[in-house]
Structure 1
Amino acid sequence: MRRNRILLEWISVRQPAAEVYWKGQPLGSWEKIEARWRITGQRIRFSFRPQDRQKVAWISSIQSCSGGIRILLKEHHRQVVPDELEIRWGDADPDRVREPSDLWPCIRRWIRSEMPGCVVLSAERRSDRARTLSRRFLRVHVRDRGDDRLIMVAGADAPAELEGSMLTQGLLWFDWLRRRKRLPEPATLFLLAPGGRANVLYHRSRFLNEERVRSVIWEYEDPSDQPWQPRLASAPPAPEEHRDFKWPILGPFRWSAPLARVLDLAPQWIRRHPRFQEYDSLRILGLEFARVLGVHRDRICFGVGAQETELSEENFENLRALVNQILFFRRPDSPDSHHPCYRLQSERWLECLVLEDVPRLFPELVPEAVYSQIPVYLGKEPGRVDILGADREGTLVVMELKVSENPDLPLQCLDYWGRVTDHNLRGDFERRGYFAGIRLNRRKPKIYLVSPVFSFHDSTERVLRYLESDLEVWKIAINEDWRNGVRILARSRVKCGELP
């Protein structure tokens, strides 16, 4: 954060005439856009004025690029692909094709060595919002002796969260070319990721319908190494017992006098969630406001967001004030829908409402065997399933919740689905006391995609068309005003693997 602050101050002092481009469009000089920033907790809140309106967002990162820097901005934590504000004060040509980490020369040499005699039909990195294509990936369309190869490359400087969206981006690009009759079958999707960062890609690509699209995952090392030679990615290692697994303790809960005192502040609203062995999370309508630590759960830290304060007798009234503030603002008729206590962790709010009303919303599930935020492992790296349950026949159900449009919803849920499937086949859930009294079968779990009715991204079903045809995927549309109480408006099973 200190580096980012110094960079911003340096530009204001030394480069006030630098040219600014917002999503590729020129805005004028740095001085003209009236850039301002302030430090909030551990993040930087950035504002500027494109044309006649004020734009406010959080700085995700600041990256060096040819002739200047690139500021990546997110308006909220749910935004998957950050927007780009580019500041140029050097001799960079704004019209040239820009490649992640300047990889294009390496990619071009690699294509010529791997596919001699091929024709490069296109190479671009521009964003296309109408087709949900991000400019964070280099896209190269190659025709090699009658076969089409679509090559997508993530730069070494790409944020970690973008790697999860890479397969989604590749499928949307593939689908657009196919529908425009620019992609004769067969075609193959090549995805190149930085070394050591291809595990999620490899895992998700296992569930593609190979009759619809073939995918090959590659990894590359530092492009300064010569010769530059990507290698085929290998399967992520299976997690090992007693080394990689860290699971929440289901019970009995450990109690202490300080914990009981905190719970008494709002016993009807505070919920306790076990988070691994290290701590328990205390939440009000999904918003975490305190963590209970220690073997005896007798240490408590409180705060919303990155700021935490250890609870003591001297500051207990501060905690009481925080709880009252959350209860005041985190309600459907909140007096300020922009207040952090209302906006933060909206998906956890929806999750809380669903968990409180499982018998009515999902009568097919066993209500005593529905869990939230269960870690599921790919190697030693955990992901967290929003809700994991089992129906009355013992089939697992993987539920992913979104409160706003997100093109990565299908593949994110599929990612967790694959991990849940592996755990189930190994008997990991029963071994740890989950689903007690239920005899789980080893059939493939069901997938529930849950979102407000107008908040499913329009690409959701297009992505699902390229998955294995035997997946059981349900789109569950709920009411837009779900904070007033969740109602299921429609359930529809999506037929995976079927193209229009």
Structure 2
Amino acid sequence: MTSETLAAALGDFLSGSSSAVVIEDGGITFDLAQAKYSVLGENNKCLLHLWSAERNVVRRVLDLETKGETLRVTVQRMGQPKPTKLEICRERDRRTASAKKQARLAYRRVLERALGRKFPDLTLVQLNTSMDLEKSFGPIYARGLLRRGQSGFAVLAVNRQELQSSIDSSLTFGILWLDVCRQAHAGKMVVEGLKLIVPTKCSELVRARMAHLNPSAAKWQLYELDERSDEITEVEVFDRGNISTRLIRCADESEVERRFAEPIALVRTLMPEAETAQLSSAEVAFRCHGLEFARARLTAKPGNFRSEPEIVFGLGAEERVLDGANFANLERLVRSIGEARHAEGPRDNRFWRLHPERWLESLVVKNICALNDGLDRRWCYSQVPAFSASDRAMIDVLTAARTGRLAVVELKADEDIHLPLQGIDYWSRVAWHHARGEFQKFGYFAGRELSAESPLLMMVAPSLRVHPATDTLLRYISPEIEWVLLGIDERWREKLRVVFTKRPETIQLRTAV
């Protein structure tokens, strides 16, 4: 393969691998959900440049081999004559199907022993990991029922070898399993609540979510299992204490526009309708209906103590610094996006299909009152950073009603079973910062008096793409969270319009009896 064909093949694979990981020397070196890359094929060399906040590497690419969802790359490190291998894996859990099955069977035996020791007065009447797609259950979670006489507890557990994202999602499936158990044993047994078991030191997000479930609807119990000692330890759920979250200061809009006036003007000559998003006081993003194609950022120039703006462009993790030699590439990219990314655009075009949630978000920000005419269009922030120790969460849209009450808007363009509990995540962070008056301290809602009321949680999705399990999950949310589920017209790219509304009073709770 020539350097040009290597670069093209590598670029094609990476463009469809926004959540992939790069593995070198047996360990994950880059997570493309956060890292950046560039591919250059010229002068008879194909160079792969990868960088993140932690490291920066350049590898010369010699050969490529695709195996399933993994690209094996033969590379040469600078100054080292002997080639080595790195892998770009779209599938983060690289275990074989048989290895996963064996690990889950072994965990099931550990779990049975541990449950018997921890709850000697309860009888484990069933425990399985079988697939049940009708009820949204897969083999990742062990599901069972602990019984004593005419009462019992639903049990759901997940082992340490599963991905952290699967552990974080366990509460969603725990609630659904509790509901299944209550339906199956209605009139025969009182299923009092849920015992959810996760690996040691992996319960932070699950605990935060469980704290906002309705304690009157079920007994919510969270445990950590040490698989080496078979010891189960209970985790205190409703003692919320300090929430591990921090807010990022809102940039001064006029100052940022002044600082980046030249890059903004340049991009607007290529795409007058481009959206400008202020990421920080030192960086702005350029988007077309939510699809980011370039950024301008301050950078130090050699021999100059002053920072000057530079433009980088590309989709996803791909990034190139704009210069005279590649300006035509930026022009082609902008033209291609503009021709496809509009409501009447070709639906088979990747620019039309990419990041539908960001597209929806851009329309909501422009017309927030289409969701509810009680919202104040003057105050609308998108992608608000509210980071915790375990993630870098972005609140889709933060706005306020005309009464001054905050509203957290969680958006989904496609069916997502986790919508309600992800909404809880963002609501709890906003409520925490709001109770301490931090939004205005950090430059949000400047000059606007905010109501002391707790925020409203608004969950928005196309009407035919609301997951069937959503109503079940919403039944168990704490009454302290006032929420509303809005189903919008499937043709939302053409016009944003609400076609149905659900509130807590419209959904009946299934109790323990």
TM range (shorter): 0.7 to 0.9
Match of 2:357 in 1: 347
User: How many angstroms does 1:440 deviate by?
Assistant: 1.0
CA distance in 1, matches of 2:164, 2:244: 24
User: How many angstroms does 1:108 deviate by?
Assistant: 1.8
Q: 1:474 to 1:245 in 2, by over 3 A?
A: closer
Query: Which segment drifts farther, 266-275 or 426-435?
Result: 266-275
Match of 1:120 in 2: 124
Query: SS of the residue aligned with 1:61?
Result: coil
Matched, 1:180 2:184: yes
The partner residue of 2:430 within 396, 408, 420 is 420
Query: SS of the residue aligned with 2:464?
Result: coil
Matched, 1:171 2:175: yes
Query: SS of the residue aligned with 1:298?
Result: strand
CA distance in 2, matches of 1:87, 1:327: 46
The partner residue of 1:320 within 331, 336, 340 is 331
The partner residue of 1:331 within 337, 342, 346 is 342
Query: Which segment drifts farther, 424-433 or 351-360?
Result: 351-360
Amino acid at match of 2:119: M
Q: 1:429 to 1:3 in 2, by over 3 A?
A: closer
Match of 1:294 in 2: 298
Following superposition of structure 1 onto structure 2, how do residues 29-40 of structure 1 map, counting pairs within 5 Å? 39=71
Query: SS of the residue aligned with 1:483?
Result: coil
CA distance in 1, matches of 2:507, 2:23: 47
Match of 1:80 in 2: none
Match of 2:256 in 1: 253
TM-score if structure 2 supplies the norm length? Answer: 0.75
Q: Is the 8 A contact 2:154 2:181 kept in 1?
A: no
Amino acid at match of 1:369: W
Query: SS of the residue aligned with 1:193?
Result: strand
User: How many angstroms does 1:390 deviate by?
Assistant: 0.7
The partner residue of 1:456 within 454, 466, 490 is 466
The partner residue of 1:268 within 272, 280, 289 is 272
The partner residue of 1:155 within 159, 167, 178 is 159
Q: 1:116 to 1:231 in 2, by over 3 A?
A: same
Match of 2:208 in 1: 203
Q: 1:115 to 1:441 in 2, by over 3 A?
A: same
User: How many angstroms does 1:417 deviate by?
Assistant: 0.7
Query: SS of the residue aligned with 2:315?
Result: coil
Query: SS of the residue aligned with 1:60?
Result: coil
User: How many angstroms does 1:186 deviate by?
Assistant: 4.8
Consecutive unaligned residues of structure 2, counting only runs of 5 or more, are 1-20, 27-65, 74-88, 300-306
CA distance in 1, matches of 2:261, 2:379: 29
Give me the identity figure in percent. Answer: 25
Comparing both chains, which one has the higher relative contact order based on Cα–Cα distances under 8 Å and sequence gaps of 6 or more? 2
Q: Is the 8 A contact 2:270 2:331 kept in 1?
A: no
Runs of 4+ in 1 over 6 A off after TM superposition: 234-237
CA distance in 1, matches of 2:157, 2:104: 8
CA distance in 1, matches of 2:161, 2:146: 25
CA distance in 1, matches of 2:105, 2:438: 41
Following superposition of structure 1 onto structure 2, how do residues 53-452 of structure 1 map, counting pairs within 5 Å? 59-64=90-95, 69=96, 86=97, 100=104, 102-144=106-148, 146-181=150-185, 184-221=189-226, 223-224=227-228, 226=229, 228-232=231-235, 238=242, 244-251=246-253, 252-253=255-256, 255-256=259-260, 259-276=263-280, 279-294=283-298, 296=307, 298-335=309-346, 337-378=347-388, 381-452=391-462
Number of aligned residue pairs: 425
User: How many angstroms does 1:375 deviate by?
Assistant: 1.9
Q: Is the 8 A contact 2:113 2:230 kept in 1?
A: no
CA distance in 2, matches of 1:249, 1:380: 24
User: How many angstroms does 1:400 deviate by?
Assistant: 1.0
CA distance in 1, matches of 2:433, 2:152: 37
Q: 1:358 to 1:163 in 2, by over 3 A?
A: same
Query: Which segment drifts farther, 448-457 or 146-155?
Result: 146-155
Match of 1:480 in 2: 490
Query: SS of the residue aligned with 1:405?
Result: coil
Q: Is the 8 A contact 1:279 1:297 kept in 2?
A: no
The RMSD of aligned alpha carbons is 3.1
Consecutive unaligned residues of structure 1, counting only runs of 5 or more, are 7-33, 42-57, 70-85
Amino acid at match of 2:130: R
Query: SS of the residue aligned with 2:502?
Result: strand
